[in-house]
């Protein structure tokens, strides 16, 4: 049975969250969300095991040492990673999955799951993205600067992706991702025959 996996990535603060939400609500795609692990503190509205698996640095380091992660990255002093067990659990049950990762995490995932359909979400312009980041982090100049610098570095990775999706509207971006995904999944099924 084909592994039906969507990998969603993109520039920092580009609006992946809303697109992800629309994809997960789509009954035809029937996706399960892979929950990442992080060392960052839980925000007030977040739920452990739903938004992230919140762990300490020692636990995260052990996961890295034990090769329990497909990929991991560091941002702002905190680590984020995709657990192999989380992906393997859903795939063994024959479920379609959605993995949201930082841009540099896509390569290791693609090596392990070559049939994954990967998407990189880009802003309509870098100026527009900087404006969004400014609005979101205007009370924290250091975070704003870090996010803008991170987004610029991630945008340099964008050309490596076959599927770059412009987020001029989350609904339109979601529709484009769905259309490409269904086409790729149909090819996978055809190849299995």
Q: Give CA–CA dist 185/29, Å, rounded.
A: 10
Could you tell me the pTM of the whole model?
Answer: 0.89
Model confidence pLDDT, tens digit, residues 152-183 = 888 888 877 889 999 999 999 999 999 999 99
Q: Would you list the DSSP string of 116-149? A: -EEEEEE-S-HHHHHHHHHHHHTT-HHHHHHHHH
- In the three-class reduction of DSSP (H, G, I as helix; E, B as strand; rest coil), residue 79 is classed as strand
Distances (CA, A) of 17 to 48, 187, 188: 17, 28, 27
Backbone angles phi, psi at 4, to 5 degrees: -100, 100
Query: What's the average model confidence in pLDDT over 21-47?
Result: 95
Model confidence pLDDT, tens digit, residues 77-134 = 999 999 999 999 999 999 999 999 988 888 899 898 999 999 999 999 889 888 888 8
Distances (CA, A) of 10 to 39, 101, 129, 166: 21, 8, 12, 10
Distances (CA, A) of 94 to 2, 4, 31, 104, 136: 9, 9, 11, 27, 38
Q: Map out the domains of the chain with their CATH numbers.
A: 5-192 (3.40.50.300)
At residue 8's C-alpha, the angle toward residues 185 and 162, to 5°, is 65
* pLDDT for res 1: 57
| Kind plus residue range of the DSSP H or E element containing 83 | strand 78-83
Residue closest to 155 by CA, chosen among 79, 104, 114: 104
Q: Give CA–CA dist 189/2, Å, rounded.
A: 7
């Amino acid at each position: 049975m084909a592994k039906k996996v969507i990998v969603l990535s993109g520039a920092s603060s580009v609006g992946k969250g809303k697109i992800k939400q629309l994809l997960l609500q789509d009954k035809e795609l029937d996706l399960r969300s892979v929950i990442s692990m992080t060392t960052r503190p839980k925000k007030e509205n977040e739920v452990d095991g739903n938004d992230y698996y919140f762990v300490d640095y020692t636990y995260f380091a052990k996961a890295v040492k034990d090769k329990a992660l497909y990929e991991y990255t560091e941002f702002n002093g905190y680590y984020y990673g995709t657990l192999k067990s989380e992906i393997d659990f859903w795939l063994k049950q024959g479920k379609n999955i959605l993995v949201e990762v930082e841009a540099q995490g896509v390569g290791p995932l693609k090596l392990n799951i070559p049939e994954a359909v990967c998407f990189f979400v880009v802003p309509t312009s870098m100026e527009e993205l900087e404006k969004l980041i400014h609005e979101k982090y205007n009370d924290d100049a250091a975070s704003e600067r870090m996010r803008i610098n991170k987004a610029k570095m991630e945008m340099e990775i964008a050309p490596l992706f076959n599927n770059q999706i412009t987020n001029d509207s989350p609904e339109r971006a979601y529709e484009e991702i769905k259309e490409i995904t269904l086409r790729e999944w149909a090819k996978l099924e055809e190849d299995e025959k």
